[in-house]
Structure 1
Amino acid sequence: MKSRSVIHVTGAMNMGGTERMLMTLLRMKPPWKSIFLTYGTGTGTFDQEIKDLDGEIRTIPNPGSLSDHFQLFRTVKPAAVHAHTLFQSGIPLAAARAAGVPIRIAHAHTTADPSDKKGRFIYEKLMRASIALSATDYRACSSAAGNYLFAGKSFEVMPNLFDPKQFKRPPEAEVLRLKLKYGWTDKLVLGSVGRLTKVKNHAFMLDMLSELHKQGIKAVLLVVGDGDQLKTLRRKAEELSVAELVTFTGAVEDPSIYYHLMDVFLMPSLFEGLGIAALEAQASLTPVLGSEALQPEADLGGGLLYKLPLEAGSAIWAEKAISVATDSHKGTSDPVAVPPEEVLKHYYQLYRWKGGGHEQKTADYII
């Protein structure tokens, strides 16, 4: 009997864009068993929901251990290993090849590596070589992400999976209730959703808030998510005297309601593979003000995506946020996203699974 499982190599199932995408896939209840390979000992935001949906979490303490990966793959015997961890993907994919896993996928989700460790160039070169040798399939969330990780190899851009219906506007009474709870009925609400990392540039958002505060604009910042920058951001908010204007929600499993509390969604990222939170915001009909790091694939075509270079500075960004919030012409057409049912067909094809309307007729095995 052929294996009916797919192992996703993710690092940890917290509320990053890739993780939220994979949770959307799991919630669609595909016929294969989804196993998430994480590293370390921490508990992820989605761990309990994964178990509730009959998914499974496997943990390896050391992400650099070829032998640990090999033993896991030999034990589980998955039909596919789908790696989402940038250069580190070279390790699980090499182990999967040695363990005889037939489908080994490298999936690019970003356009840069934030690590500044010594010897990183050598590591990246080795991992690129391992990916090239070990992967059977190459996928990317955007052209830029694929060009970055695969460096000249052929790859396919795969539509990002998210359910636009999840982000439709809730009853107005629910939105008003939350705005009253936070005291935001007369405030300009700026916001973000995602992991609190340097790459997402939340410090810049605080600078914007400070600029608005100096101008006497009644503005607040809603930060949805958790991450290693939380203490640093709290400290910076205190230094800028805007701490009372910032709400940190911590990690949440379903951020959809929060988009509807925002007048402008901020994404001043240093780099992005795509910017899946930008898709979610547009699906919520919330305008997005982002950096030029947002990829063309992040624009759903509804007139809700605005871009500025980071070099313009926080004062110009603050002015633009006011302009975007009051733009009567924003969102003049409906955003158009690829329906999740259509994206799911790509996964059927990728995993060589019969069904879903997109099977590979030449596949000699069925998962």
Structure 2
Amino acid sequence: MLKVLHYIPGFLYGGIETMFLSWYRCIENKNVEFELLIRTQDDDATALKEYRNQNGKYYRLPTFSVKRVFDFKKQVDQFFKTHNDYDILHAHEVDPFILSSAKKHGIKKIIVHSHTTSYGSGVKNKIRFLNEQINIKIYADFAFACSKKAALWKFGSMTFKNNQVVIIHNAIMTEKYDYDEQKRSDKRNELNLKNKFVIGNIGRLTDAKNQFFLLDIFAEYLKLNKNTELLIIGDGPDEKELKEKAKNKGILEKVRFLGARNDVNELLQAIDCFVLPSKWEGLPVTLMEAQASGVACIISDIVTEEADITNNVIRISLNQSMNFWAQKLEDIRMNFIRKSTRVQIIDNGFDVSKEVLYLITKYKEVVGVD
């Protein structure tokens, strides 16, 4: 039995959490055991509640504070001193205290997993990136990434310490998202969306996801079609400012902030167009989910092209005008015909039941067992 500790500090409800939960659902009877190390203090966080409901085992560290850095380090050391029987630490974020303590206390192998292609601009983010580079070189044994673009950004090439960087697709449960006309009708009736054109966005409300730009696009599109609504699904630090912007633009009554949800698969059935104007991405799980539901997708052209696995994706530069984005939305409303894409998703390697078998194979290679 392989024992793997996953370190996901902010276990709320983003792409990494969604991916981990999909893996966790599929590992039963696979001779591998997952446990989770977090720093999230919110017991009601959607992803954590879902993990608990599946009897997932997790450990919690305190919130990191510069003022209490030595206390944090002490607690990390205490954890790994008493929990050092893992075959692998799978770190989804680079934390020098976590990596160094795991190594010191005998965790056999450390994997660092890249999920993005940027931390944004600014001195603080540049320092963070450089600090990560140092600690990856010192402590990591293997490198995983969600896409080639994410691998090149974090590791500099497709090889790491003489090993190939392993690409693990952000795969999903395809049967859960497959297009279903009855489910679509039921959800639209539940949300009072009948006969409306519905635009959707799913993700953390942060700078990377660029929802402020999305509100500008939506305001422009309302000039072409008043019978439309925007669903923003997710939570995050930008929520208050986004609501304020929607109010100031006079569109708040047309925008629904739904928060973090555990019925994303059903909401995607109700949506007519998924819009993802991100400033940077690794390989967004939400885009995989949207494509699996057969919905039309408009995304920024910075998203890695590895994410285009159906014919439903339209790429647009963030430098294009609001009117250009709005016209594309109108083209979709007038011309797009929705249908199942499940076969395409599976054929391109994004079905989690198959991808988790590949993940386990790579774990075995990491620790050198058959």
Question: Per chain length, whose mean CA-contact separation is higher, i.e. which structure has more relative contact order (CA < 8 Å, sep 6+)?
Answer: 2
Partner of 2:79: 72
Q: TM-score, normalised on structure 1?
A: 0.88
Distance 1:324 1:280 in 2: 19
- Cα 1:106/1:233, change in 2 over 3 Å: same
Bigger mean CA deviation after superposition, 177-186 or 142-151: 177-186
CA positional deviation for 1:276:
1.4
Give the partner amino acid of 1:163.
Answer: M
Task: Please state if 1:307 is matched with 2:315.
Answer: yes
CA positional deviation for 1:361:
11
Instruction: Give the structure with the larger helix fraction.
Output: 2
Give the partner amino acid of 1:48.
Answer: K
Give the partner amino acid of 1:204.
Answer: F
Task: Please say if residues 17 and 277 of structure 1, whose CA atoms lie closer than 8 Å, have aligned partners that are also in contact.
Answer: yes
Partner of 1:232: 241
User: In the comparison of the two structures, how many residue pairs are matched?
Assistant: 351
Task: Please say if residues 141 and 157 of structure 1, whose CA atoms lie closer than 8 Å, have aligned partners that are also in contact.
Answer: yes
- Cα 1:328/1:347, change in 2 over 3 Å: closer
Q: CA-atom RMSD, angstroms?
A: 2.3
- Cα 1:123/1:12, change in 2 over 3 Å: closer
Distance 2:340 2:172 in 1: 22
Bigger mean CA deviation after superposition, 121-130 or 220-229: 121-130
CA positional deviation for 1:303:
0.7
Task: Please say if residues 7 and 80 of structure 1, whose CA atoms lie closer than 8 Å, have aligned partners that are also in contact.
Answer: yes
Task: Please state if 1:168 is matched with 2:181.
Answer: no
Distance 1:150 1:28 in 2: 28
Which residues in structure 2 correspond to 1:337-356 (within 5 Å)? 337=346, 338=349, 339-352=351-364
Which residues in structure 2 correspond to 1:82-161 (within 5 Å)? 82-85=90-93, 88-114=94-120, 116-118=122-124, 120-152=125-157, 153-154=159-160, 155-161=165-171
Q: Residues 304-337 of structure 1, C-alpha deviation per residue, up to 9 Å, x if partnerless?
A: 1110001003221111111123334776975333
- SS of 1:310's equivalent? coil
Give the partner amino acid of 2:136.
Answer: I
Task: Please state if 1:15 is matched with 2:24.
Answer: no
Task: Please say if residues 264 and 324 of structure 1, whose CA atoms lie closer than 8 Å, have aligned partners that are also in contact.
Answer: yes
Partner of 1:53: 54
Distance 1:184 1:142 in 2: 36
Distance 1:37 1:117 in 2: 29
Bigger mean CA deviation after superposition, 109-118 or 73-82: 109-118
Which residues in structure 2 correspond to 1:29-44 (within 5 Å)? 29-30=27-28, 31-43=31-43, 44=45
- Cα 1:90/1:157, change in 2 over 3 Å: farther
CA positional deviation for 1:49:
2.3
Give the partner amino acid of 2:154.
Answer: L
CA positional deviation for 1:279:
0.7
- SS of 1:279's equivalent? helix
Partner of 1:284: 293
Distance 2:27 2:315 in 1: 36
Q: Residues 274-296 of structure 1, C-alpha deviation per residue, up to 9 Å, x if partnerless?
A: 11111110100001100012112
Task: Please say if residues 107 and 140 of structure 1, whose CA atoms lie closer than 8 Å, have aligned partners that are also in contact.
Answer: yes
Give the partner amino acid of 1:56.
Answer: K
CA positional deviation for 1:196:
1.3
Unmatched segments (≥5 aa) in structure 1:
353-359
Give the partner amino acid of 2:89.
Answer: V
- SS of 1:325's equivalent? helix
Unmatched segments (≥5 aa) in structure 2:
none
Q: Residues 49-97 of structure 1, C-alpha deviation per residue, up to 9 Å, x if partnerless?
A: 2123221221111446444333222212222111112xx3444222211
Give the partner amino acid of 1:37.
Answer: L
Task: Please state if 1:335 is matched with 2:335.
Answer: no
- SS of 2:356's equivalent? helix
Give the partner amino acid of 2:16.
Answer: T
CA positional deviation for 1:170:
3.7
Bigger mean CA deviation after superposition, 66-75 or 8-17: 66-75
Bigger mean CA deviation after superposition, 135-144 or 145-154: 145-154
Identity of aligned residues (%): 25
Distance 1:57 1:142 in 2: 27
Distance 2:97 2:366 in 1: 31
Q: TM-score, normalised on structure 2?
A: 0.87
CA positional deviation for 1:233:
1.0
- Cα 1:263/1:123, change in 2 over 3 Å: closer
